[in-house]
Amino acid sequence: DARVTQTPRHKVTEMGQEVTMRCQPILGHNTVFWYRQTMMQGLELLAYFRNRAPLDDSGMPKDRFSAEMPDATLATLKIQPSEPRDSAVYFCASGSNFRMGETQYFGPGTRLLVL
């Protein structure tokens, strides 16, 4: 049963610290998405990749957030420096290709708390 995995599942850190979240997409999927979920904003798309290339990261605060795919099996989302307003659940999702009706499969999320 192929799944998207994310690490860590929970992270508590202090303001100003660097946070790195990792995602392993489903093997063979070529699109990867990063979302942030908060009570106030709901689900927000931060960035997405196709074939490891970033296609859109307009939803991401550029000054502190960065997203990369070092290889096809790993996507990372980094926050440096972190701020309390970054506290949220961060989801990674992957999909198989770019055709109509493509389904995105979500990981379990990383729950981040910045104190």
Instruction: Enumerate binding residues for other proteins (CB under 8 A).
Output: 4, 31, 33, 42-43, 45, 48, 50, 55-56, 91, 93, 95, 98, 100-109
The CB-of-48 to other proteins minimum distance in angstroms stands at 7
Shortest separation between residue 46's beta carbon and other proteins, angstroms: 11
Nearer to other proteins (CB atom), residue 37 or residue 81: 37
Which helix (H) or strand (E) is 70 found in, with range? Answer: strand 65-71
Cα 103 to Cα 90: distance, rounded to the nearest angstrom: 19
Nearer to other proteins, 65 or 91 (CB): 91
Smallest distance, other proteins to C-beta of residue 100, A: 5
The CB-of-8 to other proteins minimum distance in angstroms stands at 14
Q: Strand order in 74-79's β-sheet?
A: 5-7, 19-24, 74-79, 65-71
